[in-house]
Amino acid sequence: MIKAVLFDLDNTLIDFMRIKKASVNAAINAMLKAGLKMSRKEAHRKLYEMYWRIGIEHQKIFQNFLTKMLGRIDYRILAAGIVAYRKAQSEVLKPYTNVVPTLKNLKRQGIKLAIISDAPRLKAWIRLTEIELQDYFDVVVAYDDTKQYKPHKAPFLAALKQLKIAPENCLMVGDRPERDIQGAKELGMKTAFAKYGAAKDLKSQADYELGSIEEVLIVVK
């Protein structure tokens, strides 16, 4: 019997890559307008090369980008990029359709809810708050809480300890088979692959595959 549902955050509850692309495009346009001398195509390619190399969540990506491109940080250009990025992000940062009704339904059933995210703690909480989901979850485990990324067992165990529920009574929902699904299965949890949020067609080996978030309700029943 499922007593708790644990969710990944990015690309499971929110369309993270769509938000990232819109925000980065806005930042590049703003930096070019502020005086960055390079083509839009080249700026896009170089910036994403840095993202893939040092991490999509890197906190000082624009500083590193400008240092590499200009040999220094031009603060006029940097400020333009950061402001445009944040503005675009706030405009497009929304949960997937039917996330809120699904969470409300689960809460009505007495199902406990948790987040297990590889994002830094503050980033995870800011995202949850911006999309007004912060009050739905009994437990939020972010990278800072264990200093381990999924599929390491530490984040999952931290959530289980706080929930006080056995792994076999938990369902883990996530878009990364090699992280969310593998880590949960190793501890004996039921697993559901958020196929709707996956970047490409992947083989998940999950117990269930979800075409949309509300299908979690079918799995729980």
Total of domains in the chain: 2
Q: Are 113 and 162 in a shared domain?
A: yes
Give residue 163's domain range.
4-15+94-220
End-to-end CA distance of the chain: 9
Q: Are 105 and 210 in a shared domain?
A: yes
Q: Among 92, 125, 140, which residue terminates a domain?
A: 92
Q: Are 125 and 135 in a shared domain?
A: yes
CA distance 103 to 137: 9
Q: Are 208 and 112 in a shared domain?
A: yes
Q: Are 127 and 204 in a shared domain?
A: yes
- The separation between CA 99 and the C-alpha centre of its own chain, rounded to angstroms, equals 14
Q: Among 59, 92, 125, which residue terminates a domain?
A: 92
Amino acid identity for residue 158 in this structure:
A
CATH number at residue 137: 3.40.50.1000
Q: Are 37 and 57 in a shared domain?
A: yes
> pTM for the complete prediction?
0.82
Contacts of 172 (CB under 8 A, 6+ apart): 5, 6, 7, 8, 116, 156, 180, 181, 183, 184, 189, 190, 191, 192
Q: Are 28 and 61 in a shared domain?
A: yes
Q: Are 80 and 122 in a shared domain?
A: no
CATH number at residue 54: 1.10.150.520
125-151 pLDDT tens trace? 998 998 999 999 999 999 999 999 999
CA distance 201 to 198: 7
* Residue 39, pLDDT score: 96
Q: Are 42 and 113 in a shared domain?
A: no
* Residue 4, pLDDT score: 98
179-217 pLDDT tens trace? 999 999 999 999 999 999 887 677 789 999 999 999 999
Q: Are 157 and 171 in a shared domain?
A: yes
Q: Are 66 and 134 in a shared domain?
A: no
Q: Among 62, 92, 122, which residue terminates a domain?
A: 92
14-72 pLDDT tens trace? 988 889 999 999 999 999 999 999 999 999 999 999 998 988 778 899 999 999 999 99
In this prediction, residue 6 has a pLDDT band, given cuts at 50, 70 and 90, of very high
Q: What is the mean pLDDT of the chain?
A: 94
Q: Are 120 and 81 in a shared domain?
A: no
105: its two tokens: 């339904």
CA distance 214 to 217: 6
In this prediction, residue 111 has a pLDDT band, given cuts at 50, 70 and 90, of very high
